[in-house]
């Protein structure tokens, strides 16, 4: 048995169109909240972390909204938890 938290073992994400749209909305909300931090109140490390987080959110939004990856590429599901090799 591997160490760690296992309460979500065997559960898959909600990959319905509505579930994916809920993920997109969640990303937009958290992107807005991340942008709200005053740059003058952040040190250099925190500014880097903020930019990094925004970059990750923008990447996820690109693949979900623009590229429509869940609807155009079956590999999306392998990278999102449906990997039979775990």
Q: In this predicted structure, what is the pLDDT of residue 24?
A: 97
Domain annotation covers residue 73: yes
Count of domains observed in the chain: 1
Mean pLDDT in residue range 12-17: 88
Q: CA-CA distance, 53 to 35, in Å (whole number)?
A: 10
Say if pTM beats, i.e. exceeds, 0.85.
no
Mean pLDDT in residue range 48-71: 96
Domain annotation covers residue 85: no
Structural domain boundaries, residue 36: 17-79
Domain annotation covers residue 65: yes
Domain annotation covers residue 8: no
SS3 call for 1: coil
Q: Is 42 left (phi over 0), alpha (psi -120 to 50) or beta?
A: beta
Q: In this predicted structure, what is the pLDDT of residue 83?
A: 63
Q: CA-CA distance, 10 to 12, in Å (whole number)?
A: 7
């Amino acid at each position: 048995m591997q160490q760690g938290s296992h309460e979500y073992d065997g559960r898959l994400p909600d990959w319905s169109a509505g579930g994916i749209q809920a993920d997109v909305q969640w990303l937009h909300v958290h992107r807005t909240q991340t942008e709200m931090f005053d740059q003058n109140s952040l040190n250099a490390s925190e500014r880097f972390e903020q930019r990094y987080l925004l970059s990750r959110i923008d990447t996820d939004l690109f693949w979900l909204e623009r590229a429509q990856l869940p609807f155009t590429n079956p590999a999306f599901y392998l990278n999102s938890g449906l990997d039979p090799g775990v």
